[in-house]
Amino acid sequence: MVKAIVLAAGESRRMGTPKVFLSDGAGHLFITRILHTFHAAGVSDLTIVSGSLHERIVRAVAADAPRGAVIRFARNPDPTRGQLSSLLRGLDAADSPGVDAVLVTLVDVPFAARGTVEAVVDAFRRMHAPIVRPAHGERHGHPVLFAKPLFEELRRADPAYGAKSVLRAHAEEILNLDVDDRGAFMDLDTPDEYETAIRSGNFSRTP
């Protein structure tokens, strides 16, 4: 079983408005587009890690949740402790008997394609690599899959380095899966980046 964790607890300071509620240009908010994409790709157990906007996120998801998905919420009371603190909140909510891996993505990366999610999960099931992530040349994208044996290592990671320390420790074992999907590498942090993505029209279709 592969579950997903969506990190959505950030303050979106550079964007100037919460990214979680931005429109994808196709009828969804960033957060719900990600849920629909993962659900369409066959990953239907989804944990959202929220922060100060928890209640608003719960209401937004309730209004546009993919039918048949299992959606959990994990609130990070202090996201300023770093992204790892949110990841561990999500991991505690998602981890259960029978889980083989978690797919981790950011609300900042809403346009990863359904095919990319499917390809990452399929590669894990075929190759059993401890970490699988989309790649194109020297670029690495989302979602990133962490296999169950790494869960405790993530929990023990230094908060100053977060999951990057686990990625570095297993650099030789990572399966970098070449994908032709601009959305998997598009981390939207500023209004200009957002406007450029929407104007391109490449992401106007629903997942």
pLDDT tens per residue, range 20-77: 999 998 889 999 999 999 999 999 999 999 998 999 999 999 999 999 999 999 999 9
Check residue 15 and give its pLDDT: 81
**For 99-138, b where at least 16 C-beta lie within 10 A, e where not — what string?**
bebbbbbbbbbbbbbbebbbbbbebbeeeebbbbbbbbee
Check residue 21 and give its pLDDT: 92
Check residue 202 and give its pLDDT: 66
Whole-prediction pTM value?
A: 0.93
Check residue 189 and give its pLDDT: 87
Alpha carbon 141 to its chain centroid, in Å, reads 10
Q: What is the mean pLDDT of the chain?
A: 92
Check residue 197 and give its pLDDT: 87
The contacts of residue 193 (CB under 8 Å, 6+ apart) are 186
Check residue 176 and give its pLDDT: 97
Residue by residue, pLDDT tens for the chain (207 residues) are 999 999 999 877 778 788 899 999 888 999 999 999 999 999 999 999 999 899 999 999 999 999 999 999 999 999 888 899 999 999 999 999 999 999 999 999 999 999 999 999 999 999 999 999 999 988 999 999 999 999 999 999 988 888 999 999 999 999 999 999 999 999 998 999 989 888 886 666 667
Check residue 207 and give its pLDDT: 72
Phi, psi of 9 (to 5 degrees): -105, 0
Check residue 204 and give its pLDDT: 62
Token pair listed for 98: 């029978």
CATH topology of domain 2-200: Spore Coat Polysaccharide Biosynthesis Protein SpsA; Chain A (3.90.550)
